[in-house]
Amino acid sequence: MSRQFTYYTTGTCSSVIIIDLDESDIITHVQFLGGCNGNLQGISRLVEGMRATDAIARLKGIKCNTKPTSCPDQLAQALQEALQHP
């Protein structure tokens, strides 16, 4: 059984991230609304099938140019929140 989590981003071009996790906290689907479509589809496909904790470790802290965050960093933050709300 999977669960879906919706996260509203801050500081990025994308505005919403929708994440599906299975019962083992494996990412089964990620959808970004807004942002750079091609890049965000690529990020989504790369993390699908990964453990949420592994994706967090790889993506947390990535910055976009001079911004203090990025879409990958926002995905890491979204995953952290999703894990806190099973």
Q: At 18, list the tokens.
A: 């929708």
Distance of CA 51 to the CA centre of its chain: 12
Q: Residue 85: is its pLDDT beyond 90?
A: no
Q: What are the residues whose beta carbons fall under 8 Å from the beta carbon of 28, sequence distance 6 or more?
A: 2, 20, 21, 22, 48, 49
Per-residue confidence (pLDDT) for residue 37, from 0 to 100: 93
Q: How far is CA 44 from CA 1, 32, 66, in A?
A: 20, 8, 23
Summarize the confidence of residues 7-24 as an average pLDDT: 97
pLDDT in tens, 19-62: 999 999 999 999 999 999 999 999 999 999 999 999 999 999 99
Q: Which domain holds residue 44?
A: 3-84
23-27, 65-69, 82-86: range with lowest mean pLDDT = 82-86
Burial of 55 (0-12, 13-18, 19+ CB in 10 A): buried
CATH number, domain of 11, equals 3.30.390.50
Is the pLDDT at 86 greater than 80? The verdict is no
As for how many domains the chain has, the answer is 1
